[in-house]
Structure 1
Amino acid sequence: MERRKKLREALILAAEGMIAEKGLAGLKTRDLAREIGCANGAVYNLVADVDELILRVGSRTLRRLDEALTGAEGAGAASPQETLIRIAIAYCDFAAENLELWRALFEHRMERGKIVPDWAISEQMELFRHIYRPLAALFPDRSPDELGITARSLFSAVHGMVALGLEQKLVAVPLPALRNEIAALVRATLLGLVVPAR
């Protein structure tokens, strides 16, 4: 039992390294099996399938992203607006520093007919608290559902800028410029939300 646990951990770490180096398309179970010293078929005694393996790697990525966003929130001395800007820039920096692992969170598609397990959805949704809390301080009269929609919309805007800005093609933006643009977007969005609320 202990050996299986250690082998499973080694598999997830090896998969994480492979995705970080080669992207999601470079994940090969045969290479992973060789790296951790087991037969190719034994991989599926450690995880149910490749989908679970990718989700387990994603879980580790989300945990580190959570730590980065928590660090960006600071001790709470900043205004809600400034906190949201810090969080957005920390998200951008995390994506830039962990590009392939971050991309894998959004590129992975479950095998047809399979649904994402509840534990994975819960881990993803938990990160929205970083956006939700400062928004709740800004808009105390909004319902939880309204705040949830605003949090997801703000995330979508920032994520879109990060995804396109970090593309290695036509729309690539230098990281310092991307940080500034993200800060400007969050400020403008919040100003647009605050003014009608008043």
Structure 2
Amino acid sequence: MNTNLKRISIGLSALGLLSLVACQSMEQGTGQKASANLEPRSGSQTKGEVIFVWQGSDVLINGKFSGLKPNAEQGFHVHEKGDCSAPDAMSAGGHFNPETKAHGMPNSGMNHAGDLPNIKSDANGNATYTAKLHDFAVNTGPTGIVGRSVVIHRDPDDYKSQPAGNSGPRIACGLIK
């Protein structure tokens, strides 16, 4: 009987190790994609499209925007709620922050998961956007952004003011799906 208990124990240990490896692999992406179409809010003309692609532990973000303030920077964040219904986009809630960290510079380790680099517009108020971040996943899990919203703010994020970088009113919002 002692031999049978050892076999059961070894089997359970192997199963536990296999479960641990499976959980770790869920933190890695293999090309999962999500996108959002941003529509104007707060009386702006700002709109755009953003695509998120999960590759390994990084998420590649690409976007195209128009109707921005020319030659300027605008704050850009993933927000906690997938609701852009309010005229001022306040229905999107605060920044996505599953680890309850302070607001800060993206990829610094001292930031909300939803803190993204600012958008930089050209002389015509248009912008293309590319960033690579690792604080969130492209899924619906606890660190996932699918079902949340992405918001453009009128002013640049200063990456230090709490709780949201002093980036002003929300001028565009889109549901991430």
- TM-score band, normalised by the shorter chain? under 0.3
Higher strand share: 2
Higher RCO, 1 vs 2 (CA within 8 Å, ≥6 residues apart): 2
Higher helix share: 1
Q: Normalising to structure 2: TM-score of the pair?
A: 0.26
